[in-house]
Amino acid sequence: MVDEATHNILKILTPDQRAALEALGSPVHLQAGERIFREGEPSRNVVVIRKGNVKVTRQNIHEKEVILAIRGVDEVMGDEGVLMDEPRSGTVTTISEVDGLDIGADDFVAFVNEYGLWVEMYRAAVRRRRQSEQQLLRAPLNVKGRLARWLLELAAEVGENTEEGWVIESTLSQQNLASRIGATRDAVAIALRQLREQGAVSTGRQRIVLHDIERLRTAASS
């Protein structure tokens, strides 16, 4: 079984609180590849994801895009910038069709104040940052190990447990995977081929299926 993420603020809201938050939003629909927020822009709103997945990226010192995280259903995107009244710390782009709720910054801050959620929001932000920073600790792992580790994280974040395995629906390219785990595209292609040959995963158009979680966990720890 894939471990569940613990940084999702919506998971701690009561039904009444969640209903109150959702009542503040306006529905939005986005196609795959659309940008929701851009790094450095003013933080004027948050978006609650109701369907689909997004990637969070940042430019490194070489002005190359680095994937920090993949987020999915029930995630609140852009909350940290709004609550801190700071510019966007990263770019958020859809990797599948996304349905969401757009909530203005003032309304969101008022909601957090009304229900006394500052501590919970801070904890969620810290957990997200730690999740990104943990990538640095994985540097000693080989490419297959880093890829297996991130595929397990993706399954926990945005995967669906089906009869054929954990299905990850996305438009992530091999280059996206490579930038996230700090490897070359060719190295990722080789690692994916090895995992396919071992029966751990299968890949198709805009989807990856994890068939053997235990084998992936073994690869992630090697």
Query: pLDDT tens for residues 167-208?
Result: 998 778 888 888 778 787 888 888 999 999 999 999 988 889
38-43: long-range contacts (C-beta < 8 A, 24 or more apart)?
A: 38/88, 38/91, 39/87, 39/88, 39/89, 39/90, 39/91, 40/87, 40/88, 41/87, 41/88, 42/87, 42/88, 43/78, 43/81, 43/82, 43/84, 43/85, 43/86, 43/87, 43/88, 43/105
Least confident interval from 11-15, 35-39, 110-114, 133-137: 133-137
Residue 162 has pLDDT above 60, yes or no: yes
Q: Which of 149, 210, 215 is nearest to 181 (CA)?
A: 149
Residue ranges, CATH 1.10.10.10, the chain:
143-220
Residue 91 has pLDDT above 50, yes or no: yes
The phi and psi torsions of 50 (rounded to 5 degrees) equal -105, -20
Read off the pLDDT of residues 70-89 as tens digits, 9 standing for 90 and up: 888 999 999 999 999 999 98
- Cα end-to-end distance, the chain, whole Å: 19
Return the CATH superfamily for domain 9-138.
Answer: Jelly Rolls (2.60.120.10)
Residue ranges, CATH 2.60.120.10, the chain:
9-138
- List the CATH code of the domain at 143-220: 1.10.10.10
Residue 4 confidence (pLDDT) = 43
Residue 46 has pLDDT above 80, yes or no: yes
How much of the chain exceeds pLDDT 90, in percent? 54
